[in-house]
Amino acid sequence: MRRRSLNMPGAIVRVCALLFLAASSAVAQPVSEPWDMAQVVKVWCSGDRDARIASFQSLLEDVVEADGPARQWAANLIVQYRDGNLSCAQDTGYIPAGDQFLDVVTGNLVEVIPDDAATPFLNIPLRRALSPFASAVQLVAAEAPENRLRAAQGLARTLGDVPPTLIERIYQQEQNNQVAAVLEGVLVPALLGSGDADAQLRAINTLAGNATRKSRATLDNFLAQEPAALSGPVRTAAESARSSVHWVIQVSEAMTVAYHGLSYGSVLFLAALGLAIIFGLMGVINLAQAEFVMLGSYATWFVQEALRALAPGLLEFYLFIAIPFAFLVPALVGAFMEWSIVRHLYTRPLLTLLATWAVSLLLINLVRVTVGTQNLSFLTPEYLKSGFTVFGEFSVTWSRLLSIFFAGITLIGTLFVLYRTRFGLRMRATTQHRQMAGCVGVSTRRTDAMAFAFGSGLAGIAGLALSTIYNVNPTMGTSLIIDSFIVVVLGGVGSVLGTALAALGIGQLNAIIEPLYGAVASKVIVLLAVILFIQQKPNGLFPRKGRR
């Protein structure tokens, strides 16, 4: 016997359950459905590919004719089947309904399903065939515009064997502009193939408004037809649409590269910022810096787990709730490390190098024995899933956008702390001239300790931002440390703006070179470029002013 485990936050579960009860009262009641469910289940569970496709097709045809509740019923069934939630048993199938199961043949709700019930395996071609039918059934059945929009977008990926005439019919009746616009896109191949000049012009218009590589390929194929098959105006329209689509794609591809550079740069910046402050202020080469990034990620994970246990309703927002923890945990560890190890070694920089390296190994192994070496599982909140298309082929993922956002906030916050607070003033004073600052009453020792903690905390924020992009494990920091040092040295030791610019520059250079010459070459070229730059400007982009 199997039960589904629900790991959704409790509040959402409750809301869903309520909704489901409302819906399932309609679902559970034997509606006047025109289907022989036993036959449908039999085909869906064990039929061959063609039989299943025929069954999807006839279900879709029936749904169009059926009444509201029956449509809902069918949409629920086919979506559950697509998502792998239909368990096949002897002569029947079960789909989850709240915390019970619905016998799809009898319509009864049952607590447990038989042991031998199994989910049928859907291979790639089957899922590819099924997916447009599921979307089409949803499109017919769904009443809320956002659900219809999702279904239409599903169809826009591929229409498969769904008859275009049906979509045409739905399109004619569609009230919602957004849904209608997506459906227009779905109809393009059918319209282009219709041979009717008006329909073709309409389709070309749609393609021109939707500048993607797919549209360009469609137009290319269309234009490659024999000259006789195309009327003059259609050909001119298609040609001008093709060139405008092509232009938009070129621009959007360039913007994609720039965006990749920006997002990689923001990752580098986040990782390097703490280092820039510690290295810049105290000249301490902190090799454990990357482990503070790792600690920040782990703190985020612990916050997530704590929320999961204590306040599941807030789980979706764990990334924001975790900000203070991701800052404070590494900051405290950093402060402790400064107090116990680093302050004794300020006069011996080589020893700090060794000592901080030892600390880095210690932290890695400490995490390894306490938490384990496996990659931690982070929940991707609904609002961070996938992304959106800005225009053409330029699309943006939310998680990358979040890291850019964090980088921006951290940059502003750090600049604020440095230039608008007493602590920042003391820090800048100590950086510029330690003895002099001491003479005018700045407690340089305390400033050092606080700056070290501050730099460690900033690394922790980097760990928080990285947890949605990269994988989190004890050794995640090791790959960051070298890049961070390159960024700090290139930016000019101790300069926050220099660090930001250097990170952006390296990120951008990487993003430009990688698609052209591959990731291996881009590493080499970037390193070479940095070496050449440092040769010309040994103190980096923004050399430190003042004396040591």
Partner 1 sequence: MRRRSFMKGVGVAGLAMSAPGIILPAWSREKVKVGCLFSSSGSMANIEGRLNYVVQMAAQELNRAGGVLGRQIEVVTTDPASDWPLYGQQGRQLLEDERVSAMFGCWTSASRKAVLPVVEENDGLLYYPLHFEGEEDSKNVVYMNSPPASSVLPALEYLMGDNGGRARRFFMLGSDYVWPRTINAQLKGYLQQKWGIEPDAWQEEYVPVGHSDFQSLVNQIKSFADESGEQPIVVLTVVGNSIPNFFQEYINQGISSLDVPVLGLDVVEADLEGLDTDQLVGHLNCWAYLQNAPGAANQRFLSAWANYVQENNVPFSPDVAIDPMVSAYTSMYMWAQAAEKAGSFDVPEVRNAFPGTSFDCPSGYKIKLTSENNYVHRGVFIGSVNRDKGFDIVWQSPETTIPEPFSPYI
Judged by the rule CB under 8 A, the positions of this chain that interact with partner 1 are: 84, 121, 123-125, 127-128, 131, 157-158, 212-214, 217, 253, 256-257, 260, 263-264, 267, 340, 358, 361-362, 364-366, 368-369, 371-380, 386-387, 393, 395, 397-400, 469-476, 478-479, 511, 514-515, 518-520, 523
- Kindly provide the b/e burial profile for residues 527-537, where b requires at least 16 CB atoms within 10 angstroms of the residue's own CB: eeebeebeeee
Q: How far is the CB of 494 from partner 1 (least distance, A)?
A: 26
Give the helix/strand (H/E) hosting 103. strand 100-103
User: Cβ atoms within 10 A of the Cβ of 340, count?
Assistant: 11
- Kindly provide the b/e burial profile for residues 150-168, where b requires at least 16 CB atoms within 10 angstroms of the residue's own CB: bbbebbbeebbebebeebe
Cβ contacts of 412 within 8 Å, gap of 6 or more: none
Cβ nearer to partner 1, comparing 127 with 420: 127
Q: How far is the CB of 47 from partner 1 (least distance, A)?
A: 15
Decide if 270 contacts 448 (C-beta within 8 A): no
Q: How far is the CB of 520 from partner 1 (least distance, A)?
A: 5
Cβ nearer to partner 1, comparing 217 with 528: 217
Q: How far is the CB of 538 from partner 1 (least distance, A)?
A: 27
Rg (CA), the chain: 30
Cβ nearer to partner 1, comparing 32 with 123: 123
Query: Beta partners for 88?
Result: 93, 118
Interatomic CA distance for residues 170 and 421, integer angstroms: 62
Query: Beta partners for 95?
Result: 102
Q: How far is the CB of 374 from partner 1 (least distance, A)?
A: 5
Q: How far is the CB of 528 from partner 1 (least distance, A)?
A: 15
Place of tokens 């301490």: 284
Q: How far is the CB of 497 from partner 1 (least distance, A)?
A: 24
Decide if 432 contacts 543 (C-beta within 8 A): no
Cβ nearer to partner 1, comparing 177 with 370: 370
Q: How far is the CB of 385 from partner 1 (least distance, A)?
A: 8
Cβ nearer to partner 1, comparing 368 with 428: 368
Cβ contacts of 491 within 8 Å, gap of 6 or more: 272, 276, 497, 498, 499, 500, 501, 502, 503, 540, 541, 542
Interatomic CA distance for residues 208 and 241, integer angstroms: 5
Cβ nearer to partner 1, comparing 267 with 303: 267
Cβ nearer to partner 1, comparing 399 with 414: 399
- Give the angle 457-462-467 at the CA atoms, nearest 5°: 125
Cβ nearer to partner 1, comparing 5 with 173: 5
